[in-house]
Amino acid sequence: MAGSSQPPAPEPLAESLSLALPHVTVAAQLHGPRDGVPVVALHGWLDNAASFSRLAAKLPGLRILALDLPGHGLSGHRPPGLGYHLWEYAHDVLMAAEALGWQRFSLLGHSMGAIVSVLLAGSMPERIARVGLIDGVLPQTGAPSRSPERLGQALRRSLRSRERKPLYPSIDDAVRARMGAGYPVSREAAERLTERGLVAIEGGFTWRSDPRLLAPTPMRLSDEHAKAFIAEVRCPVRLILAEQGIYADAAEQMAALPFECCWLPGGHHLHLDDETGADAVAAALLGFFSD
């Protein structure tokens, strides 16, 4: 009927995957044709592989491995005594690619996953073909003079008894909590992330993620460290920035980066919040990984 709007086509089902790496078992979702261009997709802090569930179907011709990084989603947690540092995630990604036999591949990262992508591309340029970044590029840096104080905070926190996870009476309660936690997301985005991030326990539901992800970072890279990694990236990089995202007040700093930048309307999770944002991100990335 004229003037009527058609609902979006259903998304192709993703293939579930579990990779037993030498140091941890990671879960993932595989999208796209088996002979597609290999791309590893990395989500943000406290998110999971569902972060790319709306976007992946809009990027034809790619074989996208959307990982649950260790401590997140359905992946295993690191053993006691080990933490969740950016460079350790880079190692996880490399080992996952090794498990699939991907000697050269591209990266698609959001937020923390984008930062990990830059670290890996700068340190292993021979393995990375292209990098797509969504509202993430630079790690939080710190002055070397603050390092002893920061490490002390982390060590004191580690001596405390393990903190209890939040308990939600219903899935809807968890969804509403996720909508307002950290960087706010739409209800649809929260539902997608929650479906993969929750586990049923006595009395309700709680997050699968490792509580240690909330611990203070014991060490931060300096500004010089961050610039050094960026300078060593040898492949094409396309940086998609959200106009209402985390770099909204850093346009000058973003323009100074040696990467191709594109600003799009939306918040930090613009690729997941709604179809409009996902379509815009997909259009910005269309053809990039297969050029």
pLDDT tens digits along 63-75: 999 999 999 999 9
Q: What is the mean pLDDT of residues 266-281?
A: 98
| Sheet of 260-264, strands arranged across | 15-20, 25-31, 62-67, 37-42, 105-110, 128-134, 237-242, 260-264
Query: Which pLDDT does position 14 carry in this prediction?
Result: 87
State the CB neighbour count (10 A cutoff) for residue 261. Answer: 17
- Asked if 29 and 66 touch (Cβ cutoff 8 Å), the reply is yes
Q: What is the band of 6 on the pLDDT scale with cuts at 50, 70, 90?
A: low
Burial of 222-232, coded b for 16+ CB within 10 Å and e otherwise, reads eeeebeebbee
Q: What is the mean pLDDT of residues 173-188?
A: 93
- Whether the pLDDT of residue 4 is over 50: the answer is no
Q: Strand 62-67 relative to strand 198-201: parallel, antiparallel, unpaired?
A: unpaired
Amino acid (one-letter) located at 194: T
Percent of the chain at pLDDT > 90 equals: 81
Tell me the whole-structure pTM to 2 decimals.
0.93
CATH class, 15-139+222-285 region:
alpha beta
Q: What is the mean pLDDT of residues 138-153?
A: 90
Q: What is the band of 159 on the pLDDT scale with cuts at 50, 70, 90?
A: confident
Query: Which pLDDT does position 44 carry in this prediction?
Result: 97
CA–CA dist 26, 46 (Å, integer)? 15
Sign of CA dihedral 230, 32, 290, 239: negative
Place of tokens 């179809």: 275
The secondary element (H helix, E strand) that includes residue 99 is: helix 86-100
Mean pLDDT lowest for which of 9-18, 78-87, 95-104? 9-18
Read out DSSP for 254-275? HHTSSSEEEEESS-TTHHHH-H
Query: Could you confirm whether 5 is annotated as catalytic?
Result: no
The secondary element (H helix, E strand) that includes residue 150 is: helix 147-158
Q: Exposed (0-12), middle (13-18) or buried (19+): which is 177, by Cβ within 10 Å?
A: middle
- Write down the catalytic residue from 53, 111, 117, 209: 111
194 contacts: CB under 8 Å, gap ≥ 6: 171, 174, 175, 178
Query: For residue 118, which of 263, 229, 259, 225 has the smallest C-alpha distance?
Result: 229
DSSP class of 76: P
Alpha helices in the chain (DSSP H): 86-100, 112-123, 147-158, 171-180, 187-197, 223-231, 251-255, 270-273, 275-285
Query: Which pLDDT does position 161 carry in this prediction?
Result: 62
pLDDT tens digits along 121-140: 999 999 999 999 999 998 88
- Whether the pLDDT of residue 165 is over 60: the answer is yes
